[in-house]
């Protein structure tokens, strides 16, 4: 049977991808951030998962305001890199895992989560930057990817509690897949940041640190954070953190923090990378 072996929480700041693509990660500004990624890459390389379910939001790359799925799963063989205005990022094409993706889609829908199914979809920095952060710059990504999009762009996004329950349903779906695949689940976006308005540049280290602490020890309490509280404490784009609850809900209660890196600022954003080992929950 397939097993969820780890969860990864990871900011998806577009400028981090640009720094890698331009080869400027060693500059004084970027080096402290990227040094913190190296132990995580080593850990993930040793873990050698077969598939990653990457929970992220599309930034008006694949969808526009014409169609806004609350939850969507990508079931294609491959996903092209989106052109976000400067040409596609120079990273490998993302290979999908249709067999597991269709199984998860069926399981989730019969489990009362009404997923949108994407047979074709470009993937933007929300998905590719976490891959770059955790895998570096390989010629091909080391595992297959199932994109899972959450709407956090157009109000109303789903609640953290609903996202957590989706994660629990994903865990049930993965556990009922017969092949022995080892799966990691990424929750991406965040941490505190606001890109526009009078509070542009907001960073709240205290809120972020408390969130990271409770993600392991008391994740259900975190699911009670309202959209208004995210906006007040973590900025208007801080609401992306609801996607981390999908990842945490997919793990067991015994999941253990094995790595954490928190850095400010990355562009005008707080950036975090955290790994939770789920093998003790099995
Ligand atoms: Fe984002």
Q: How far is CA 235 from the centre of its chain?
A: 18
User: What residues contact residue 251 under an 8 Å CB cut-off, 6+ apart?
Assistant: 4, 7, 167, 171, 185, 276, 278, 281
Paired tokens of 91: 């990273």
| Closest-CA residue to 128 (of 141, 115, 109, 111) | 141
Q: Which one of the listed residues 12, 59, 103, 125 is annotated catalytic? A: 125
Q: Is 263 a catalytic residue?
A: no
Select 3-277's CATH number: 3.30.559.10, 3.60.20.30, 3.40.830.10, 3.50.50.60. 3.40.830.10
Question: pLDDT category, 280, cuts 50, 70, 90?
Answer: confident
**Distance between CA atoms of residues 48 and 147, nearest Å:** 19
Ligand 1 centroid to Cα of residue 4, in Å, is 24
Reported as a single tens digit per residue, the pLDDT across 144-196 is 999 999 999 999 999 999 999 999 999 999 999 999 999 999 999 989 999 99
Query: Residue 17 — very low, low, confident or very high, per pLDDT cuts 50/70/90?
Result: very high
The answer, yes or no, to whether residue 122 has pLDDT greater than 70, is yes
Tell me, rounded to whole angstroms, the distance of Cα 6 from its chain centroid. 13
Contact 44, 184 (CB under 8 A): yes
pLDDT for res 145: 99
Residue 270 has pLDDT above 90, yes or no: yes
The yes-or-no verdict on residue 282 having pLDDT over 80 is no
94 forms bridges with which residues in the sheet?
Answer: 79
Please give the angle made by the CA atoms of 92, 141 and 77, to the nearest 5 degrees: 75
Mean pLDDT of the chain: 97
Ligand 1 centroid from CA 191, angstroms: 10
Cα–Cα–Cα angle for 14, 19, 22, rounded to 5 degrees: 120
Averaged pLDDT for residues 68-89: 97
**Beta bridge pairs of residue 39:** none
Ligand 1 centroid to Cα of residue 65, in Å, is 16
Dist. CA 189 → ligand 1 center (Å)? 5
Cα 240 to ligand 1 centre (Å): 7
Measured distance CA(228)–CA(59) in Å, rounded: 21
Q: Is 245 a catalytic residue?
A: no
With vertex at residue 8, the alpha carbon angle to CA 195 and CA 35, rounded to the nearest 5 degrees, is 75
The angle subtended at Cα 38 by Cα 33 and Cα 39, nearest 5°, is: 120
Domain-wise residue ranges, the chain: 3-277
> From ligand 1's centre to the CA of 14, what distance in Å?
8
pLDDT digits (tens, 9 = 90+) for 26-55: 999 999 999 999 999 999 999 999 999 999
Choose, from 12, 103, 193, 261, the residue flagged as catalytic.
Answer: 193
């Amino acid at each position: 049977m397939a097993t969820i072996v780890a969860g990864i929480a990871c900011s998806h700041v577009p400028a981090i991808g640009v720094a890698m693509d331009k080869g400027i990660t060693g500059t004084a500004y970027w080096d402290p951030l990227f040094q913190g990624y190296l132990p995580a890459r080593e850990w993930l390389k040793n873990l050698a998962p077969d598939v990653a379910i990457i929970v992220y939001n599309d930034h008006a790359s694949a969808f526009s305001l014409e169609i806004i799925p609350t939850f969507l799963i990508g079931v294609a063989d491959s996903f092209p890199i989106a052109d976000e205005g400067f040409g596609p990022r120079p990273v490998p094409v993302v290979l999908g895992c249709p067999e597991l993706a269709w199984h998860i889609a069926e399981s989730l829908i019969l489990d009362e989560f009404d997923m949108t199914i994407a047979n074709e979809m470009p993937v933007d920095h929300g998905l590719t930057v976490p891959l770059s952060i955790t895998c570096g710059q390989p010629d091909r990504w080391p595992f297959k990817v199932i994109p899972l999009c959450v709407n956090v762009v157009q109000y109303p996004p789903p609640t953290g509690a609903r996202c957590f329950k989706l994660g629990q349903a994903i865990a049930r779906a993965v556990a009922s897949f017969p092949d022995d695949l080892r799966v990691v689940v990424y929750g991406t976006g965040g941490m505190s940041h606001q890109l526009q308005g009078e509070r542009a540049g907001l960073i709240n280290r205290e809120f972020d640190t408390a969130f990271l602490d409770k993600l392991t020890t008391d994740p259900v309490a975190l699911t009670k954070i309202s959209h208004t509280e995210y906006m007040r404490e973590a900025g208007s784009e801080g609401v992306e953190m609801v996607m981390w609850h999908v990842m945490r809900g997919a793990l067991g209660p015994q999941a253990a923090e094995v790595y954490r890196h928190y850095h400010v600022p990355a562009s005008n954003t707080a950036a975090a990378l955290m790994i939770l080992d789920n093998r003790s929950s099995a």
